[in-house]
Structure 1
Amino acid sequence: MVCDRLSVKRYYVDGRFGQIHYRLARPQRSTKLPLICLHMSPYCSVIYENLIRELSSDRICIAMDTPGFGGSDAPDFSPTIGDYALALKDFIDSLDFAEVDLLGYHTGGKIALEVAINFPDLVRKVILVSAAIWPAAQREKLRALYSRSNISHDGSHIVNWWKSAINWSMRGRSLESINKVFWSRTLNPEISWWGHHAAINYSTKIALQKVLHPVLVLNPEDDLWEHTALAKALLTNPKSSVHDLPGWSHGFLDVKTEEVASIVRSFLH
């Protein structure tokens, strides 16, 4: 049987909050640790589809929908990053993986850090897409912004979301590529703020100082570019680093898939 790297399959497993939906790309024979990818809020695992396909020549690659996003069932309360981390731990255990590498984008990165800190033997290396360190005043503004649903009667919230997606997309990203992932942020709009709310209430500064694993922070020039630069002084493992990506922004996983895969492989070797 020849490895089909073009195939990304979708599955469900049972979790503490209901079903967990995930995407899986795998080779015929895996020679590396599994890589678990965690998306930003309020999107879903579809953002990783091209990347996990590209990386799946020698390792199992999985992109999970955080509970309440994509196809995963939501908890019946607004969760913390700690709650999301426990759901991820359950997910990894359900797949019988003894050790994994983690890649997390924005909110997903905070979940990855929390799992690495609390279950250090389960994680080998961590890759973060951005690691924003917020000043207290800005954190309070963001906390107020992401404390409720912002659905509008005339549907203008969807137009605003679309304009934001266009504004923060990197050069070379097609409208088709943007639309491929945009739909996922329109799901469960009454709770789609939960991911941001959990992220804002989590201290990345403290987490980066506590995590013992090698951490690679990818810093694209997106809305968290300047705040992520502050993470450089907080990394404690000598094998940890921040990789600035000027000119890159949202959509880089699709526009620069091969380049990202090369960076990931180099760090995870």
Structure 2
Amino acid sequence: MPHALVRDRKLYYELHGNHAGTPLVLAMGIGGSCRGWLPIQVPEFARHRRTLIFDYPGVGNSEPDDAPFSTGDLADTVAGLFDALAIERAAVLGAFMGGMIAQELALRHPERVERLVLVGTYARADAKRRMLLAHWRELARQGVPLEVLVRDRLLWTAQEETIEQTDLIEQMIAFFSRDGAPLSSELFARQCDACLAHDTLDRLHEIRQPALVICGRNDALTPPKFSRQLADEIPDARLVTFAYGAHLVMVEAAEAFNRAVIEFAAEN
């Protein structure tokens, strides 16, 4: 298994594709491991661009770190991974928490980011998001089984048409609670804390990289208002709202999503 030593911790990563030039880096959302990108995004992206996926500290095959962390801390970790892998610059795609980390990476390490793709994320949580994330955090700290937490999350992340596909939903629950997201309940709670504290709203105007902001029209976790705000405040940003898709737009509208990302990443 490939690991890189970053901030005194071993981080698991995978590089796919053999293309020259700047890679595309995929930053996963809350509660997920990098394996979540493998079935749908990585094969397509790696046909066009070298693609890096990785696990955050304590997630999947990465070494645990018991220290508290913020989205800014995780952005520094990503920059450290770039150093370890001799990556000077990259296009960075982040979903939900990964999108928050991508914002901080562009702000704290602008020379490392070629362009941004921000998917189903926000610059600052509103009251409803704060209540929901605090709810998830407390469930995790009370010892609620991860499978129950995943079911709760899917109610907010999958659109109704997806939830009606019972077999698919059960596969997702199995993947995110066992196969694809081995993380502790306490780490999930700390990820919730990081998302709660994330706030780049007053700094978004400092992001100079081109940015593609993507959302699903039916996203209940991060409704389109958050994506519009990001696109309005980042100087060189454009917004794409998919009519079909919710928070899991990269799964529910996979073909259109992948095409939009590939075309944006290829722009000069």
TM-score, normalization: structure 2?
0.83
Task: Give the Å deviation of 1:254.
Answer: 3.4
Q: Which amino acid aligns with 1:132?
A: Y
Listed as ranges, the matches of 1:85-234 within 5 Å are 85-134=75-124, 137-138=127-128, 141=131, 144-145=134-135, 150-152=140-142, 155=144, 158-165=147-154, 168-170=157-159, 171-172=161-162, 174-175=168-169, 176-183=171-178, 184-185=180-181, 187-220=183-216, 221-222=218-219, 223-228=221-226, 229-234=228-233
Aligned to 1:266: 263
Q: Matched residue of 1:111: which SS?
A: helix
Q: 1:135 to 1:202 in 2, by over 3 A?
A: closer
Q: Which amino acid aligns with 2:234?
A: L
Report the Cα distance in structure 2 between the residues aligned to 1:163 and 1:199, rounded to whole angstroms: 17
Aligned to 1:243: 240
Report the Cα distance in structure 2 between the residues aligned to 1:81 and 1:92, rounded to whole angstroms: 17
Aligned to 1:5: none
Q: 1:194 to 1:65 in 2, by over 3 A?
A: same
Report the Cα distance in structure 2 between the residues aligned to 1:266 and 1:32, rounded to whole angstroms: 15
Report the Cα distance in structure 1 between the residues aligned to 2:55 and 2:182, rounded to whole angstroms: 14
Larger % of helix: which? Answer: 2
Q: 1:138 to 1:166 in 2, by over 3 A?
A: closer
Q: How many residues align?
A: 255
Task: Give the Å deviation of 1:219.
Answer: 1.0
Q: Which amino acid aligns with 1:77?
A: A
Aligned to 1:22: 13
Report if aligned partners of 2:246, 2:252 keep a CA contact under 8 Å in 1.
Answer: no
Report the Cα distance in structure 2 between the residues aligned to 1:17 and 1:182, rounded to whole angstroms: 28
Q: 1:267 to 1:152 in 2, by over 3 A?
A: same
The CA deviation string for residues 160-218 of structure 1, in whole angstroms up to 9 with x for no partner, is 43243256324356232453334245621122121221122121312422211111111
Q: Matched residue of 2:68: which SS?
A: coil
Report if aligned partners of 1:185, 1:192 keep a CA contact under 8 Å in 2.
Answer: no
Report the Cα distance in structure 1 between the residues aligned to 2:82 and 2:263, rounded to whole angstroms: 24
Report the Cα distance in structure 2 between the residues aligned to 1:177 and 1:160, rounded to whole angstroms: 12
The CA deviation string for residues 65-98 of structure 1, in whole angstroms up to 9 with x for no partner, is 1122222223221101121111111101111111
Task: Give the Å deviation of 1:246.
Answer: 2.6
Q: 1:94 to 1:150 in 2, by over 3 A?
A: same
Report the Cα distance in structure 2 between the residues aligned to 1:139 and 1:260, rounded to whole angstroms: 25
Report if aligned partners of 1:65, 1:72 keep a CA contact under 8 Å in 2.
Answer: yes
Unmatched tracts of structure 2, length 5 or more? none
Q: 1:131 to 1:208 in 2, by over 3 A?
A: farther
Select 2:32's aligned residue among 10, 20, 43.
43
Report the Cα distance in structure 2 between the residues aligned to 1:129 and 1:245, rounded to whole angstroms: 11
Report if aligned partners of 2:140, 2:188 keep a CA contact under 8 Å in 1.
Answer: no
Unmatched tracts of structure 1, length 5 or more? 1-9
Matched, 1:256 2:245: no
Report if aligned partners of 2:245, 2:252 keep a CA contact under 8 Å in 1.
Answer: no
Task: Give the Å deviation of 1:148.
Answer: 5.0
Q: Which amino acid aligns with 1:117?
A: L
Name whichever of 220-229 and 177-186 sits farther off: 177-186
Report if aligned partners of 1:134, 1:227 keep a CA contact under 8 Å in 2.
Answer: no
Name whichever of 144-153 and 193-202 sits farther off: 144-153
Q: Percent identity?
A: 19
Task: Give the Å deviation of 1:133.
Answer: 4.7
TM-score, normalization: structure 1?
0.83
Report the Cα distance in structure 2 between the residues aligned to 1:136 and 1:262, rounded to whole angstroms: 31
The CA deviation string for residues 95-139 of structure 1, in whole angstroms up to 9 with x for no partner, is 111111100011111111111112212111000112325466446
Q: How large is the Cα RMSD of the aligned pairs? A: 2.6
